Structure 1
Amino acid sequence: MANSQLFTGLERCRDHLPASLQSGNYGLLMNQASVDRDWNYAVDVLRESSPAKLCALFSPQHGIWGEEQANMIETEHFRESPWGVPLYSLYSETRMPTDEMLATIDTLVIDLQDVGTRVYTYAWTVVNCLKACARNQKTVLILDRPNPLGGQIVEGPILQREFESFVGMLPIPMRHALTLGEIARMARGELQLDVDLQILDVVGWKREQMFDHTGLPWTAPSPNLPRWESSLFYPGMVLLEGTNLSEGRGTTTPFQLLGAPFIDPFALDEELKSLEPVGLRLRPVRFRPTFDKWKDQSCGGIAFEVVEPSEVRSYQLIVEILMAIKRLWPSSFEWLPPPYEYERRRMPIDILSGSEELRLRIDGLPNSS
């Protein structure tokens, strides 16, 4: 049942303007998913409700409109935006606001929809903003949003410090059960940042609630998460970015199916019969990506159908599927080499999973006879 009593940080800001937006100049980090429940963009909501002056906009990975694809496909800066102020990309030659970008503002407002998975880069863009604002003595105001996966269930290993990167800067599990505001609070403490951090928490959100119970509209926060259900599988499926398996990019259901040309979908389905995953069903399929890995090639694989969202646990499921594929097609399955998200030395699967343990475990599997 939808929660009509839930109010995001943006909606709270609109109704009860904080002191930091009652005067002075501000910048806003947002994208197309930064909307209220009536699909009004955060920039428009703030310009209508705040007497402070908007001086700059900032966008995370994929750009303000979610146009760019993943993994080091950068977005350019714009001197002018539709709102008459510069638009700075924080996924460009820099992933942190420069002193020049922050020079005209007193407060940096952040309103982004996260997806509850450690490797999603928006959290680390926020951490970089905290660092830059600490250096420049700027206030950071986060307009928080619910974690679409809820705030209770965690999955996967905790990131080891030596594997930190732009897909993980704090020791948290893959599915972390935190909001962006909570990650920001943790970062300020862990990194000992001297920054004026203000957070408008979500009011009325119960931590057991997943996104379908919030009453909020889902607007794709990035191009390959077009529906909120995709985020259910993202904590596990994102591991495929470190392999030669398609995670469904270039299809209408990214992160809800996987495969490759060398996979026999029925043989894989048979191998997986013993798993009996809860909350979902597995279905053997063929698909043909229109871009990304295996573009224009017919791929055999598995699709995931959601039965009960609250029961889905994707991380261990995908680990089991990776192990099955490695056993069945050992000479065809591959780990992709760096670079990945600006890490040019460590293997992508290692910075994704948080250590080298998963890769070494799968590499040590015996082949199926």
Structure 2
Amino acid sequence: MRTGLERLFDKLDGLRGKRVGVACNHTAVDPKLDHVLDRLRAAGIPVRRVFAPEHGLHATAQDMISVDGEDAEQALVSLYGKTVDTLRPKAELLSDLDIILFDIQDIGSRYYTYQATLGYMMEVAASTGTKIIVLDRPNPINGLTLEGNVVEAGFESFVGAYPLAVRHGMTMGELAHFFRDVVGIRCEIEVIRCEGWDRAQWYDETNVPWVFPSPNMPTLETATIYPGMCLIEGTNLSEGRGTTRPFHLVGAPWLDATELQRLCRLGADDAGLRGIAFRAATFEPRFQKFTGVPCNGVELFVTDRNALNALLLGLVVIEAALRAAPDSFKWRTETYEFVDDPIAIDLLLGSREGRLALESRMPLGELCASWDAGRTDWEKARRSCLMY
């Protein structure tokens, strides 16, 4: 398989003599792990400006930590600063560019903010007449499996900027087509597609090394469970940040690990959740929630990634924690991704429906089935944007 980055260098005539910018981070590498900026420099293509997404160019910043706005010496612009307006590049930073190469590895989940950065950049580029060329990469968790509902109007945020399902099954290039053709962002785009990638493939079935896309996304298995386990961010449970197993470890000081394991197993059976195993666990985060405090909870092990419904997994774990400690469990109410209201869990789920279902003990299998049934129109629109 060859990524869009590799195929770009088959023919560079379209870049020569153009004013070029690059939106990228550390994931913009080829199978030899050479970075797009280094390869452009070696090919004699000057880069006028570099745009870096959340976590920064080298992914050194934790989630929701602002990165310095600009570095004049490196012509580096951060697209994740201290205020919500920094999520979009200023028009004057695009108006002197003919082309922006966009090469950032996504992980296939609506919450993951890199696809929002693509859409926001397209919105600004539409106003400046700047062309965006997406150097496409595989969807790491395959391009077939879909999960969850579509964001409802009024619940848009950086973790749900556009009408996408939780697990959308698209590549960045396909998302660019979706943003243009379905959302209506009238930006000139070109997608240099992957060569030899099949929608059914997972990332470890390609020849491209896994470069962790963000500080708490160390492995492909982390990306596999993320469409559900990111929901823990909307609660007062630790999602395992500050440990070597982010999103695999979940817990709190006031939980009983064995009881949570029992309730997770029971909930999985009731909901028809397959492909996952739960271990009673104790862990101590070194940063973020419960820093330095032992937490009791569960550790997750994927036993069949093709059978696993990751979104249902996240709901099952939250329901188990609600049942295990109803007086201690709370929804996160602090500002989340620059938004105060709706609360974090509603932003993540794209509506209030999921939270209300959890609070009322609605059968979770039924909830997910209703979301699947409600995606018909969206899936039709999605199909028109698929390239593989």
TM-score by length of 2: 0.88
* SS of equivalent residue, structure 2 residue 341: coil
Partner residue, 1:232:
224
Q: Which amino acid aligns with 2:97?
A: I
Contact preservation (8 Å) 1:143, 1:199: yes
| 1:15 counterpart = 2:10 | yes
Alpha-carbon shift at residue 185 of structure 1 (Å): 0.8
Amino acid at match of 1:168: G
Distance 1:233 1:321 in 2: 12
Q: How does 1:74-223 map to 2 (within 5 A)?
A: 74-81=67-74, 86-92=75-81, 93=83, 94-223=86-215
CA shift for structure 1 position 182: 0.9
Q: Which runs of 5+ in 2 are unaligned?
A: 363-388
| 2:308 aligns with one of 305, 308, 312 | 312
Q: Which moved more, 1:349-358 or 1:336-345?
A: 336-345
CA shift digits 1:193-249 (9 cap, x unpaired) = 322101111111110101110121111111000112110111001101110011110
Contact 1:149 1:232 in 2 (8 A): yes
Q: In the alignment, is residue 244 of structure 1 matched against residue 236 of structure 2?
A: yes
SS at match of 1:216: coil
Alpha-carbon distance in structure 2 between the residues aligned to 1:136 and 1:224: 35
- Out of 42, 57, 67, the residue aligned to residue 48 of structure 1 is 42
Q: Are 1:358 and 2:334 matched, yes or no? A: no
Shift of 1:72: 4.8
Tell me whether 235-244 or 158-167 shows the greater mean CA deviation: 158-167
1:27 has 2:27 as partner: no
1: CA distance, partners of 2:69 / 2:60: 12
Alignment match, 2:337: 341
Unaligned stretches of 5+ in structure 1? Answer: 1-5
* Deviation >6 Å, runs of 4+: none
Shift of 1:364: 2.5
1:18 CA displacement: 5.9
Residues 23 and 53, structure 1, Cα contact 8 Å, conserved in 2: no
Alignment of 1:256 with 2:240, yes or no, is no
Asked if 1 retains the 8 angstrom alpha-carbon contact of 2:55 and 2:65, the reply is: no
- 1:242·1:352 contact (CA, 8 Å) conserved in 2? yes
Does the Cα contact within 8 Å between 1:72 and 1:341 map onto a contact in 2?
A: no
Q: Is the 8 A contact 2:162 2:183 kept in 1?
A: no
Alpha carbons 2:230, 2:314 under 8 Å: kept:
no
Partner of 2:70: helix, strand, or coil? coil
CA distance in structure 2 between the partners assigned to 1:261 and 1:53 by the alignment: 53
- Residue type of the alignment partner of 1:17: L
Cα distance, 1:45–1:52 mapped onto 2, change above 3 Å: closer
Equivalent-residue separation in structure 2 for 1:46 and 1:362 (angstroms): 50
Q: AA paired with 1:113?
A: Q
Give deviations 1:280-331, integer Å, cap 9, x for gaps.
3211110000000111110011111233333332110110121121112101
In the alignment, residue 303 of structure 1 is paired with which amino acid? E
Report Cα offsets for 1:78-121 as digits up to 9, x if no partner.
Answer: 1123xxxx100011141111122124321011000001000111
Other structure's SS at 2:179 match: helix
Q: Does 1:68 align with 2:64?
A: no
Asked if the contact 2:216/2:246 (under 8 Å) is kept, the reply is yes
Q: Is the Cα–Cα contact under 8 Å of residues 327 and 365 in structure 1 kept in the other structure? A: no
Give the Å deviation of 1:17: 2.8
Asked if the contact 1:25–1:52 (Cα under 8 Å) also holds between the matched residues in 2, the reply is no
Give the corresponding residue for 1:3.
none
Check whether the contact 2:69–2:79 (CA below 8 A) recurs between aligned residues. no
Contact kept? 1:154, 1:173, Cα under 8 Å: yes
Whether the 8 Å contact between 1:161 and 1:170 is mirrored in structure 2 is no
Q: Give % identity.
A: 36
Q: In 2, distance between residues paired with 1:270 and 1:18?
A: 61
Please give the secondary structure, in 1, of the residue aligned with 2:47. strand
3-state SS in 2 of match to 1:232: helix
Amino acid of the structure 1 residue aligned with 2:6:
E
Q: Distance in 1 between matches of 2:189 and 2:265?
A: 49
CA distance in 1, matches of 2:139, 2:146: 12
Q: Aligned partners of 1:75, 1:67: CA distance in 2, in Å?
A: 12
Shift of 1:46: 2.1
Which residue identity does 1:261 align to in structure 2? P
RMSD: 1.5
